[in-house]
Amino acid sequence: MKPKPIKKIVLAYSGGLDTSVILRWLQETYQAEIIAFCADLGQGEDLKAVKAKAQSLGVKKVYVEDLRETFVKDYVFPMLRGNAMYEGCYLLGTSIARPLIARRQAEIALKEGAEAVSHGATGKGNDQVRFELTYMALAPNLKIIAPWREWTMRSRRELIEYAERHEIPVTATKAKPYSTDPNLFHISYEGGILEDPWESPPDEIFQLTVSPEKAPDKPREVEIEYQGGNPIAVDGKKMSPATLLAHLNTLGGAHGIGRVDLVENRYVGMKSRGVYETPGGTILHVAHRGLESLTMDREVLHFRDSLIPRFADLIYNGYWFSPEREMIQTAIDQAQKDVNGTARVKLYKGSCTLAGRKSTQSLYRLDIATFEEDDVYNQKDAEGFIRLNALRLKIRAQRKKAPRR
């Protein structure tokens, strides 16, 4: 069957080096109409300027959509309800943004009657997987164009040279080629000097947080109210999801909260170094776990915790729209029904620690847990409990001592 000619392509466009070069390359290579889509996920950029830049490169139709509330409410918060953390420290800020961008991009492609979608992810990274798994899950008939896997350019330095030749304005330079990926949840940094795992990240790259050494000498305590596992208020003030996260980013950033330097295992098989800032997300992670310790049944908590590595892997690897992620999410959300109350955290020079927690649905019973005299717990009951649990250990010890025949 003859392939369908490509007349329209929807490009996930950020206005940065990669996608600006890709836009021009698609025009030259496919001679098709390019529709640019830019999602506002709170990256703090002048999106009017991004739109104008795309138009200056010959794009007639540019979608710029404010998806901040959707991003936090429908993607970040469900992830935080499950305490997802990849390899012990990465809160998945880049990973969780890709499914939303790709989903909306695919919807626009179907609406516009486009035959293809395109993205700026390299052939070495995880983002190509995240974008394309989403396209295939939601719009399997769209053709996918991944320029980094098609063109002859092999480095960002070559892209910078291409941009210079074609008079495409970009902020990256040959002397400072590391890339950043900001959204309302975090900022990631990679490339350049960061490719040497021994080199410390230069302090000037950080945008959301002050250096912990330069943070205030006085700690700051913050109270976060939760309902059904979701944060709904900070210090008694109700806020929308995006507003709440932005507010905590400001508070956490001022105290140097949320910096992570990780050599991670990419899904495509290699190790890669990433540096991340996630101030608000770090605060919410600590506060949420603190409140859960008060309100969740022990076995439910432990079972949910057993799901976290798999849940985090699915998000990191791009399987947000998979049936297994949805199944785990259902179990997680069922466990969050009683996670209601308030957690208090202390912010101080890069650390975020739990300072207190309270809930009307607390399972903590002072009359049972107290070391003082009580009338509700018979300590003698513990003896039989211990003996029953030790029975197999005693049998094993006796077997070792028994003479062999």
Residue 257 phi, psi dihedral angles, 5° rounding = -85, 140
Q: How far apart are CA 105 and CA 134, in angstroms?
A: 10
> Which DSSP category does 201 fall into?
P
| Catalytic annotation, pick one of 14, 20, 68, 98 | 98
Q: How far apart are CA 50 and CA 38, in angstroms?
A: 8
Q: Is 179 an active-site residue?
A: yes
List all residues 6 or more positions away from 324 whose beta carbon is below 8 Å from its beta carbon.
Answer: 314
| Catalytic annotation, pick one of 20, 104, 127, 259 | 127
Tell me which long-range contacts 134-138 makes (C-beta under 8 A, separation of at least 24). Answer: 134/98, 134/99, 134/102, 134/103, 134/106, 134/318, 134/320, 134/321, 135/102, 135/105, 135/106, 137/321, 137/322, 138/102, 138/103, 138/106, 138/107, 138/321
| Catalytic annotation, pick one of 24, 40, 179, 310 | 179
Q: Is 46 an active-site residue?
A: no
| Catalytic annotation, pick one of 14, 18, 156, 181 | 18
Q: What is the DSSP string of 277-324?
A: E-HHHHHHHHHHHHHHHHHS-HHHHHHHHHHHHHHHHHHHHT-TTSHH
329 and 312 Cβ atoms separated by less than 8 Å: no
Q: What residues are annotated to the active site?
A: 18, 98, 127, 179
